Amino acid sequence: MRSLLFILLFYSICSEAKVNITENNVFYSVNAKTKETLLTTINNATPIREDGEVFHGHTKWNINWRFWWKSNSSQCRINKVEASLILTLTMPKLVSTDEQVKQVWSNWYPNLLTHEIGHINLAKATIKEIEKSLLAIPTQSSCQRLEQTANTLAQQKMTELSKASKKYDRETNHGESQGAWLYMHL
């Protein structure tokens, strides 16, 4: 039992992880003249269209991972992981002098941002999970097996992220339950 604890302690000391997160913001302009034209204006201005639907905010993620191992003649173990997450948040930016438009915007926009932050948090949790999971892979009998196990595990985490994001959108109806739909504020 003591030797197992020593081995676990040794590997945790010798293991290294690095997670890099880059956040990019992209804005598209919405120049609404009146409260009555705001929804049409933003629908025409948004570059976010998926499967025939129009969205006002969007979070895109790109996750990559690399790992290094130490090996001897019969064992191979990951000792270093680097994971990177590039987030791109696309959101509208109001260009209007109309006070009614500004009031609607200030009531609605924080809700849209809250919804998108939910997607961001899912991606951030996933990259940390990938890093932690890769370092926790037990010693393998070959480095080829280790590499295959690690990449399969990371890909599973990516699939889970995709499913979690879709579930989040289903559960919130793409933010409607969070007040992120503009029509609710008009």
Instruction: State pLDDT tens for residues 32-47.
Output: 999 999 999 999 999 9
- Answer yes or no: are the C-beta atoms of 102 and 174 closer than 8 Å: no
7 is a domain residue: no
- Could you tell me if 2 and 68 are in contact, meaning their C-beta atoms sit under 8 angstroms apart? no
Per-residue pLDDT reduced to its tens digit, 154-178: 999 999 999 999 999 999 999 999 9
- Rounded to whole angstroms, the Cα distance separating 53 from 57 reads 12
Phi, psi (deg, nearest 5) at residue 156 = -60, -40
Task: Evaluate if residue 102 carries a pLDDT over 70.
Answer: yes
Mean pLDDT over the full length of the chain: 92
Using pLDDT thresholds of 50, 70 and 90, give the confidence band for residue 5.
Answer: very low
Does residue 12 lie within any of the structural domains? no
The structure tokens listed for 102 are 């500004």
| Structural domain count of the chain | 1
Residue 169 falls inside a structural domain: yes
pLDDT over 80 at 8, yes or no: no
- pLDDT at position 15 is 66
Residue 8 lies in a domain: no
pLDDT band at 1 (very low <50, low <70, confident <90, very high): very low
74 touches 133 (CB < 8 A)? no
The boundaries of the domain holding residue 92 are 17-185
Residue 6 placed within a domain: no
Q: What is the pLDDT of residue 4?
A: 35
Q: Using one digit for the tens of pLDDT, what is the confidence trace for 109-138? A: 999 999 999 999 999 999 999 999 999 999
On whether residue 2 sits in a domain, the answer given is no
